[in-house]
Chain A
Amino acid sequence: MLPVLLVAIVSILESCKTKELPLPIFGERKVVNGDTLFHRIAPFAFVDQDSAVVTNDTFRGKVYVADFFFTSCRTICPIMKTQMLRVYEATRDMPDVQIISHTIDPEYDTVALLRDFAKRLGVESGRWHFVTGVKDSIYKIAQTSYFATALEDKSEPDGFIHSGAFLLIDRQGRIRGKYDGTKEEEVNRLIVDIKKLRREGNP
């Protein structure tokens, strides 16, 4: 009796260990001819701190984390950057994990300013892109692709309203996680999820 019970317990434990629940897929989905089509990040083209053009192709076959900020922001951005730096450092040895931080104040945050900002933050590798571009394109991709709020609002202390969200995007351009980038525990969860997503393998 006892061995049977033990085997049962062990097998239950084993099944827990090996069966990892996949991360959810965010956004609308459509079924076309029996295939499920998921929400994907729309095509984009921005310029990063090294004057390189960053598009969806930059992240092809990679897992990446996206956020929205601006360098002169004094409210939540410094915390977001502190937390994103943790993500950057935790993924130091993962060339297939990248980060994109979009400025929502492209008029002020030029390529030169973003380069200085990245350098001062201690970001030297090409894994973390600080991008600028056409303002409307940045706002549109924030709202419609990443479901993150980014708007100009003169009544706000800094002139913008934006969410502190970090979005986790998989190799197929699908959103697989949304985290509050101002909270350490949420960012811990993101770091765990990045590793989980890497284990999913290439499609």
Chain B
Amino acid sequence: MLIIATAQVVYLQSCQTRDARFSQYYVQGQQLYVQYCSNCHQKDGTGLGLLYPPVSQSDFVDQRFNEVVCSMRNGLRGSIIVNGREYNQPMPGIPYLTDLEVAEISTYLYNTWGRKRGLVTVEEVQRVSAVCTP
């Protein structure tokens, strides 16, 4: 009886942990997005003219997860094509963002504006960051 109860608790916890973690990351990620990204990319993710590309409806964000994760800390330089349009404003990186913060922003970005990637974990961010091209 006790074993069943324990198993149940463990089962519930692991389930809840993933869901609770997702909500936690998502909410925190939204705040970080507003603080660090929305200046240029706007709160609604639509960007500004041909200066700052959109991150809401964006083939670049959809298809280039690794580069997007890397860009948060390392920035981006040079010309990029987003939705067929060319952008060329240097993006300054925020080098002091922690792995957790990058995971939180990524969780927000990849589960908003129609995206449903699910939780982006710290481990995933570490894996991607290990192979960023500076």
What is A's interface to B at a CB cutoff of 8 Å?
71-72, 74-76, 78-79, 81-82, 85, 117, 119-122
Contact = CB atoms under 8 A, between A and B. Distances in A.
Interface in B36-57: 39-40, 42, 48-52
A97 B92 CA distance: 34
B80 to A, nearest CB: 13
Interface string B17-50: 0000000000000000000000110100000111
Contacts, number: 31
27 contacts: A71-B89, A72-B90, A74-B39, A74-B40, A75-B39, A76-B39, A78-B39, A78-B40, A78-B51, A78-B52, A79-B39, A81-B48, A81-B51, A82-B42, A85-B48, A85-B49, A119-B50, A120-B49, A120-B50, A120-B51, A120-B89, A121-B48, A121-B49, A121-B50, A121-B51, A122-B49, A122-B50
Given A74-B39, A74-B40, A75-B39, A82 B48 contact: yes
Interface residues of B, number: 11
Contacts of B50: 119-122
Contacts of A122: 49-50
A72 B52 CA distance: 12
A75 B61 CA distance: 23
A78 B51 CA distance: 9
Contacts of B52: 78
A175 B117 CA distance: 52
Contacts of A119: 50
Interface in B72-97: 89-90, 92
B93 to A, nearest CB: 10
A88 to B, nearest CB: 11
A74 B92 contact: yes
B24 to A, nearest CB: 28
Nearest to A80: B39
A77 to B, nearest CB: 8
Contacts of A121: 48-51
Contacts of B39: 74-76, 78-79
Nearest to B40: A78
Given A78-B51, A120-B51, 10 more contacts: A72-B90, A74-B39, A75-B39, A78-B39, A78-B40, A82-B42, A85-B49, A119-B50, A120-B89, A121-B49
Contacts of B90: 72
Contacts of B51: 78, 81, 117, 120-121
Nearest to B87: A120
B12 to A, nearest CB: 44
A130 B12 CA distance: 60
Nearest to B39: A78
A120 to B, nearest CB: 4
Contacts of A120: 49-51, 89
B90 to A, nearest CB: 7
Contacts of B49: 85, 120-122
A81 B51 CA distance: 11
A146 to B, nearest CB: 23
A16 to B, nearest CB: 37
